[in-house]
Structure 1
Amino acid sequence: MSNRALLTMFVVVHLSLYFYIYPVKMIEATSSGHWEPILVGFLIEMCCVWGYVKGLSAFPGKDIVDICTTVMGKWLALLLLIPLLLYFFLSSNITHSFEMASISILLLPNTPTYFILFLYIIPLYIAWKGYEAISRGGILVFICVLPLVIFSLVSSMSNFDLDNIFPIYDTRLSFFKKPMFYSAFFAHAGFLFLGFVKMNYKFPMRKVAPILGVLLIFALCSVYVPMLIFGQESIIYFRFPNVLTSDTVDSEWVVFDWLPTFFVIAMIAIAMVEAAVSFWMMATLIEKLFMKKRSKQKRGIAVIIVAIPSYFFSLYLDNIDTLARYTHVSTYLCFYSIIGIPLAVIFMSLRYRRKPA
């Protein structure tokens, strides 16, 4: 796979995480200087990506499961990677529950949730086909959907009230004391899929930094665009601030009758790609850690093992209190995954390089 395709997937996976839960958490984390916690998150992610890629470069043609079992053995690999599997499971279901809620509210208000969740069949099928199919679909979605997302954000600028940007900074950095700041780090875990791709070449970090800069702009827009329209006092009560933002656009000059519908469809298309990546990573972990021989049939079984719990767990996440409880657990697993896993890969790469031939 080319660097361009891999970097495109890097962007798509991250974008899918910015426009639902992330702005809500950032707005709740601080009442001023929202750019500060966003920037801190991206700086931490840049360090984690650098360490992750640096460690993976010592094992060309191997994914993270192969690396762990080769260097540490099967049982230690299980201990290291089972929390990662749990994080993927919790994070994907919590994130997708908000996306499915937006579908239920805006597109299919009379359709039961248990029927809407059958949309999981699409990313599950793509996950079963493998990463190459996910990548092709991700590139197509990127080309078709990204312009609509940008259009939705730019068209809202006419409704900005620039006074809402103040206070522009928080000298006390009070967001460090808010749990919401830490729970928003799920949006910085998108780089973990790089450990499953089996890269046979060195991943170009010189290109990742500019891409993270572009993603930083999208993250800032996901928070500041709705805030500049509604203000901090109002937006704190919104569950889908970016969807409501697109609803403020004057429909007389917009080619679409109702822009929020197209915005939700665009974000769901991106979310389907991210869901396929999540299901593919979980299926890969299950297949390699718990199944003895790999085959197309075993891959299908692994995908089914992922699909059934995901469906019923998503049905269980039916209210805000339940979501908050599992979000708390997911936050700990998130920091383990984005910091602990890269550190483990770095240490394993050092041990592997020092091992005599």
Structure 2
Amino acid sequence: MNKAQILTMFVLLHLASIFAIFPERIISATSKGHWEPITILFLAELLVLWMYLKALSQFPGKTVVDICNESLGKWVTRLIVLPMLIFLYIELLLLMYFQSVEIKAVLLQRTPPAATSALFIILCFYAVWKGLNVMIRASIGLCILLMPFIFFSMMISIQNFRISYIFPIWDSGMSFFSHSDFYVCTVILAGFLFLGMIPSKQRLSFGKAAAAVGIIFVFALGSVYVPLLVFGQETVIHLQYPMLMASDTIDLEWVVFDWLPSFYVVASSALGVLKVSVLLWMLVALLHQLFMPKINRLWVLSVVCFSLYGISLLIPDINALNSYLYLNSFFCVYSVIGFPILVFLAAQWLRKKVNT
């Protein structure tokens, strides 16, 4: 496991969330100046990412749990980690359900949802069982295989663009701050949390991480503006899968699969498996380390997977997903903004204790 592999994983985890829910949520949050909420989200990520990496760089070889335990004690650490555990569990549930619905809608229309969900959770179980190091190394192969498909699916729609749909380009009132969908979009920032769970003495520098955030920012803009420039705000706001529908507007007979969205769905589903696996690994690691240290980690993983699978089958339809997304946005904002700030403060406190 080296820095290039970790950086690749960092990018892919962000892209998994971007292609899952980001375009429709940003488009719902504002009807103009869509680049504004996107820019604000990524500026916020740069700030908390700097604090997160700063705290980790001060204590090489320690995880965020180690830093908080030594600075705040185990009970306080459990208290501040608990909301993040809730976020991880609900996010895993939502991602599993969303990916299963997308796969069924595009690739496996006649397959029961229980079967697609079972296959999805089995793949994630196996990945977590093999460990984070294997997932990080596998991210290089996934990047080489998937990124051409994703880039091609995004760029092929350019010929259908209507530049007039980009206007108005400024939302002077920044009305998106009062829209709950904007806060749902903070889930894309969760792609950096795994960095604090790796007990490595060679941490990513903020400069390299910021450059990666810049690349992700371009993809985030593209995921919103590609369907927006194809359909326009009045139409795209009603689409459940705007990026998927944008790629479906092009008819290319020379493509191996005559339905271009198949490329996009396969690629985004693979990214979904990767993100669910990493988040599941984080959830199991935190549960085992802080709450269930005497229970075998494989048993913890098994119970979590069975519960996720069972509850996912109880979700009635995609509309119910919205209520869970809005509920989870509170825990998400805490996990991606509040928790890194607390880790940074705990690291400063621990540093003072060590120096004295």
TM-score (norm 1): 0.96
Aligned to 1:42: 42
Q: Over residues 38-93 of structure 1, what are the superposed CA-to-partner deviations in whole Å (9 max), with x where a residue is unaligned? A: 00100001101011111112222122222222222221111111111110111122
Question: Mean Cα displacement is larger for which, 65-74 or 332-341?
Answer: 65-74
Aligned to 1:329: 327
Aligned to 1:260: 261
Alpha-carbon deviation of 1:174? 1.4
| CA distance, structure 2, for counterparts of residue 128 and residue 343 of structure 1 | 31
| CA distance, structure 2, for counterparts of residue 356 and residue 62 of structure 1 | 14
| CA distance, structure 2, for counterparts of residue 263 and residue 292 of structure 1 | 41
Aligned to 2:274: 273
Q: Over residues 158-216 of structure 1, what are the superposed CA-to-partner deviations in whole Å (9 max), with x where a residue is unaligned? A: 11111111111112211112111111111112111111111212321111112111101
Amino acid corresponding to residue 14 of structure 1 in structure 2: H
Aligned to 1:171: 172
For structure 1, the 5+ residue unaligned runs are: none
Amino acid corresponding to residue 297 of structure 2 in structure 1: R
Aligned to 2:191: 190
| CA distance, structure 1, for counterparts of residue 205 and residue 94 of structure 2 | 32
Amino acid corresponding to residue 18 of structure 2 in structure 1: Y
| CA distance, structure 2, for counterparts of residue 186 and residue 235 of structure 1 | 21
Aligned to 1:85: 85
1:157 and 1:225 in contact (8 A); partners too: yes
1:128 and 1:299 in contact (8 A); partners too: no
Amino acid corresponding to residue 3 of structure 1 in structure 2: K
Aligned to 1:21: 21
Alpha-carbon deviation of 1:351? 1.4
Aligned to 1:98: 98
Aligned to 2:133: 132
Amino acid corresponding to residue 42 of structure 1 in structure 2: F
User: Aligned with 1:16: secondary structure?
Assistant: helix
Amino acid corresponding to residue 100 of structure 2 in structure 1: M
Aligned to 1:73: 73
Aligned to 2:200: 199
Amino acid corresponding to residue 301 of structure 2 in structure 1: V
For structure 2, the 5+ residue unaligned runs are: none
Aligned to 1:347: 345
With over 3 angstroms needed to count, the CA separation of the structure-2 counterparts of 1:124 and 1:104, relative to structure 1, is same
Alpha-carbon deviation of 1:101? 0.7
| CA distance, structure 2, for counterparts of residue 11 and residue 125 of structure 1 | 22
Amino acid corresponding to residue 263 of structure 2 in structure 1: F
User: Aligned with 1:18: secondary structure?
Assistant: helix
Amino acid corresponding to residue 300 of structure 1 in structure 2: L
2:68 and 2:347 in contact (8 A); partners too: no
2:10 and 2:191 in contact (8 A); partners too: yes
| CA distance, structure 2, for counterparts of residue 314 and residue 59 of structure 1 | 39
User: Aligned with 1:201: secondary structure?
Assistant: coil
Aligned to 2:216: 215
The answer on 1:53 being equivalent to 2:76 is no
| CA distance, structure 2, for counterparts of residue 321 and residue 299 of structure 1 | 34
With over 3 angstroms needed to count, the CA separation of the structure-2 counterparts of 1:356 and 1:197, relative to structure 1, is closer
| CA distance, structure 1, for counterparts of residue 38 and residue 73 of structure 2 | 38
Alpha-carbon deviation of 1:255? 4.1
| CA distance, structure 2, for counterparts of residue 2 and residue 143 of structure 1 | 17
Aligned to 1:224: 225
Aligned to 1:243: 244
Question: Mean Cα displacement is larger for which, 221-230 or 56-65?
Answer: 56-65
Question: What's the RMSD between the two structures over aligned residues?
Answer: 1.4
| CA distance, structure 1, for counterparts of residue 311 and residue 152 of structure 2 | 35
2:181 and 2:326 in contact (8 A); partners too: no
Aligned to 1:150: 151
User: Aligned with 1:17: secondary structure?
Assistant: helix
1:87 and 1:337 in contact (8 A); partners too: yes
Alpha-carbon deviation of 1:253? 4.3
User: Aligned with 2:18: secondary structure?
Assistant: coil
Aligned to 2:300: 302
Alpha-carbon deviation of 1:95? 2.6
| CA distance, structure 1, for counterparts of residue 27 and residue 81 of structure 2 | 32
| CA distance, structure 1, for counterparts of residue 316 and residue 134 of structure 2 | 32
TM-score (norm 2): 0.96
1:20 and 1:242 in contact (8 A); partners too: no
User: Aligned with 1:13: secondary structure?
Assistant: helix
Alpha-carbon deviation of 1:310? 1.0
Amino acid corresponding to residue 105 of structure 2 in structure 1: I
